[in-house]
Structure 1
Amino acid sequence: MPGRAADGGEVPFRPATEGIRAGVEGSPGGGGLERPGARGQRQDIVWRNVVLMSLLHLAAVYSLVLIPKAKPLTLLWAYFCFLLTALGVTAGAHRLWSHRSYKAKLPLRIFLAAANSMAFQNDIFEWSRDHRVHHKYSETDADPHNARRGFFFSHIGWLFVRKHRDVIEKGRKLDFTDLLADPVVRFQRKYYKITVVLMCFVVPTLVPWCIWGESLWNSYFLASILRYTISLNVTWLVNSAAHMYGNRPYDKHISPRQNPLVTLGAIGE
């Protein structure tokens, strides 16, 4: 991640052509780079991601026990945070920054960047970069979450292994300069860890606790952990289930499908 050099100056952004990856190695939302010379070999497992994701999902299962004990406002707040999280991914990283489907002025971009940090699915630059590679080389070894490798891999398994070399090599051919030209993207990327802690965990937890007296325990597990885990899996279902189950009204020869259940969960994706 960008930071400051020893002399106090800014460390420039790592060029987009240095490698395409799902995120910082070992982070809950990202895999790592495949080691050089690993083509044709079994991809290395990023065990830290496996452990962190396993613990997260176990905590989410525990959170279900707390639902009957929570105040109705807390459950509504958790759902509201889920909607904000979804907007940060769908309207932000996906439609705006990955595909440039529309233009947004600075206030909207700031709002979407904050919502994207609440999603904690890697910063806007990395999310959009991987998504463009996915579309350009869909369902090949250069696709970060290649659906031809099965449901588990395209859903979450791709975050558990180092990237296939084709993801890196093919990704070098794409242009991502428009992303780094956006000061909002640069700011979020530079301060990503801080904004994630604040937006994904601190704010969702403190609002119920401070405003309507929910217990800190319920606030944390329901508005932060459970909401975050559900939002992750909804996004992943677009990569997995929506490439395997559903109808193909326009082109019967491609894998992506229209899946109404995934559409509902992903607020329209």
Structure 2
Amino acid sequence: MPPATRWCWNFKPGVPLRTLRLRTFELSGFRPSTFGPSNLPTLPFPFSIIPLASLTSNSSRISQMTQIKVDALITKQFLAADLNEIRAMQEESKKHAPRTEIVWRNVFLFIALHIGALIGLYQLLFQAKWATLAWVFLLHTLGSMGVTGGAHRLWAHRSYKARFPMRVFLMLINSIAFQNDIIEWARDHRCHHKWTDTDADPHSTNRGMFFAHMGWLLVKKHEQLKVQGAKLDLSDLYADPVLMFQRKNYLPLVGIFCFVLPTFIPVAFWGESAFISFYTAALFRYCFTLHATWCINSVSHWIGWQPYDHQASSVDNLWTSVAAVGEGGHNYHHTFPQDYRTSEHAGFLNWTRVLIDTGAALGLVYDRKTTAEEVIQRQCKNYGCEAERVKMLQKLG
């Protein structure tokens, strides 16, 4: 194995670290094998990383690195903004109550969807065949993984890299979920992390749990979100031909993968009623997947553990981990947003991690970013609670 490089902090004097919202990142915890000079431009920042010693890694490029500016990582990896900027935005928002303009088209569409979903739930419980129930579960799992493993962990955070066949697969199963195209989804999510709980956060919890859950989709975007979102660099997303294909053909893709195929397959393969198939495998399943994803924005900022950062609004929640196939470790994720695992959980509490690891075993996934154990412990000690972390892990396994 070629040698890599161990990194240490090289602080510049006169700049207090606490004014930077970097306590939630702990850069030194990420495996240096995932960072290379080709994707880390040099930008000015109060401190840098310098090589300290050699260790074993699977990346030969790292040994050639001499100095990398941390701001490049903050910019490229889409992490939180300066804490002072967030405070200033929060103070400004107090002066002007957000003007809520309801998008009535969305309101009526969601009402119709939920009526259809309730019909589908009744049919799923009392009328549908067992094969249809299994089909609904499979569709929910695949669609959710298209969001969590694709739009979220791969494209929004760049927490791992995927080869072309894997990217195509993730794009297609993402189309099952019908939660806007991946470019738009990733843009909104980068805003959420960079300006958490401000008016530039698409689903800020400061505007209430209903707003964070689904209300943000029923009103026009806040002007601050439009202004700040326009500043984000999305060139990496627009440069991906897989994402551009989805964006240009989004309605046909979601029409086929979210509604037509889910309805057709039960009818064709095990003789399910077309009516039952549509209301269960299409409408109910689609609505359920939406709420499972939305719970990350609401429930996972409300009820749960905070072992990694007590000052953040995000929490780790068991039920959202199950419903959203591994996204419930939200306190961990907001603390270490570049970790492809998004939590310390595995197995049924993190099916998305299983998918990514399977892709790695098949050679379709590489450069998975993780956080070192010693960094997690240091973060818990300084800003969270190690005892709470241990208790949570023991309880969840």
TM-score range for the pair, normalised by the shorter chain length:
0.7 to 0.9
1:140 alignment partner, SS class: coil
Alignment partner of 1:88 is 2:152: no
Matched with 2:36 is none
Higher RCO (C-alpha 8 Å, min separation 6): 1
Q: 139, 147, 157: which is aligned to 1:99?
A: 157
- Superposed, 1:245-260 pairs within 5 Å as 245-260=303-318
In 1, the alpha carbon distance for the partners of 2:242 and 2:251 equals 15
Matched with 2:135 is 77
- Superposed, 1:203-242 pairs within 5 Å as 203-242=261-300
Alignment partner of 1:60 is 2:117: yes
In 2, the alpha carbon distance for the partners of 1:190 and 1:48 equals 23
Q: 116, 119, 128: which is aligned to 2:174?
A: 116
In 2, the alpha carbon distance for the partners of 1:236 and 1:147 equals 12
Q: For 1:91-138, what per-residue CA distance to the aligned partner results, in whole angstroms no more than 9, with x for missing partners?
A: 000000000011111111111101111100000000001000110000
In 1, the alpha carbon distance for the partners of 2:243 and 2:141 equals 21
In 2, the alpha carbon distance for the partners of 1:216 and 1:258 equals 40
In 2, the alpha carbon distance for the partners of 1:235 and 1:78 equals 16
In 1, the alpha carbon distance for the partners of 2:258 and 2:318 equals 27
Could you list the structure 1 runs, at least 4 aligned residues long, displaced by more than 6 angstroms after superposition.
none
Matched with 2:106 is 49
Give the length in aligned residue pairs.
231
Deviation at 1:41, TM superposition (A): 5.5
Deviation at 1:42, TM superposition (A): 2.2
1:163 alignment partner, SS class: coil
1:214 alignment partner, SS class: coil
2:189 alignment partner, SS class: helix
Alignment partner of 1:186 is 2:277: no
Q: 116, 138, 145: which is aligned to 2:203?
A: 145
Q: For 1:138-191, what per-residue CA distance to the aligned partner results, in whole angstroms no more than 9, with x for missing partners?
A: 000110000111110000100111011110111122100000000000000000
In 1, the alpha carbon distance for the partners of 2:114 and 2:219 equals 18
Deviation at 1:63, TM superposition (A): 1.2
Alignment partner of 1:126 is 2:184: yes
In 2, the alpha carbon distance for the partners of 1:176 and 1:262 equals 28
Structure 1: where are the runs of 5+ without partners? 1-38
Whether contact under 8 Å (2:304, 2:317) holds in the other structure is yes
Q: 173, 176, 182: which is aligned to 2:231?
A: 173
Matched with 1:13 is none
In 1, the alpha carbon distance for the partners of 2:275 and 2:221 equals 37
1:138 alignment partner, SS class: coil
Structure 1 or 2, whichever has the larger Rg, is 2
Deviation at 1:40, TM superposition (A): 4.7
Letter aligned with residue 107 of structure 2: V
Letter aligned with residue 292 of structure 2: V
Whether contact under 8 Å (2:98, 2:222) holds in the other structure is no
Matched with 1:34 is none
Deviation at 1:58, TM superposition (A): 1.1
What TM-score does the superposition give when structure 2 sets the normalisation length? Answer: 0.57
2:162 alignment partner, SS class: coil
Letter aligned with residue 54 of structure 1: I
In 1, the alpha carbon distance for the partners of 2:117 and 2:230 equals 37
Matched with 1:33 is none
In 1, the alpha carbon distance for the partners of 2:98 and 2:209 equals 21
Letter aligned with residue 223 of structure 2: R
2:309 alignment partner, SS class: coil
Matched with 2:5 is none
- Superposed, 1:32-47 pairs within 5 Å as 40=97, 42-47=99-104
Matched with 2:259 is 201
The alignment yields a C-alpha RMSD, in angstroms, of: 0.9
In 2, the alpha carbon distance for the partners of 1:211 and 1:117 equals 22
In 2, the alpha carbon distance for the partners of 1:204 and 1:41 equals 39
Matched with 1:28 is none
In 2, the alpha carbon distance for the partners of 1:126 and 1:162 equals 15
Q: 1:221 to 1:177 in 2, by over 3 A?
A: same
Q: 302, 306, 328: which is aligned to 1:244?
A: 302
